[in-house]
Amino acid sequence: AQSVTQLGSHVSVSEGALVLLRCNYSSSVPPYLFWYVQYPNQGLQLLLKYTTGATLVKGINGFEAEFKKSETSFHLTKPSAHMSDAAEYFCAVNRRGGGADGLTFGKGTHLIIQP
C-alpha cells in the first residue's frame, strides 16, 4: 500500500528565507507525486506534480520539488518565503500505479512565516 510521511507538522521560517518541506513516500508501483496547499477554510490547490520524466518539477508561486527515487523523497522548496505562503501543505501519492483512482495524503505541514 502507498503511504506518505511528512516530517514536521509545523515549520517556521523567516520571511525571505528558504522554505524546505519534507516528504517521503512508500510505493509498490511507480509513484505519481503531488504537493497541494490548503488555505484556511478552503479546498486544496495543486502546487506541482511529478508523473514521469524530469525529476525537478517547478510549480506555481515559485515552488519546486525534486523526485529522488533512491531516497524515496519528494521535498518541496522555495528560495524565498513570502508572508502569503503561510498555509497547510500536503504531499500525496497515487493510490495505485498510474491510474486516476484517488490519492493517499500525508498528514500535512503547517508553514509559519515569521516577519
Give the residue, chosen from 41, 54, 84, 115, that forms a contact with other proteins under the rule CB under 8 A: 41
Nearest to 90 by CA among 16, 9, 18: 9
Q: How far is the CB of 24 from other proteins (least distance, A)?
A: 14
42 is a site residue for other proteins (CB under 8 A): yes
Q: How far is the CB of 104 from other proteins (least distance, A)?
A: 7
Contact of 37 with 84, CB cutoff 8 Å: no
Q: Which helix (H) or strand (E) holds 65?
A: strand 64-68
Residues near other proteins, by CB under 8 A: 4, 9, 32, 34, 36, 41-46, 49, 51, 90, 92, 94-95, 98-108
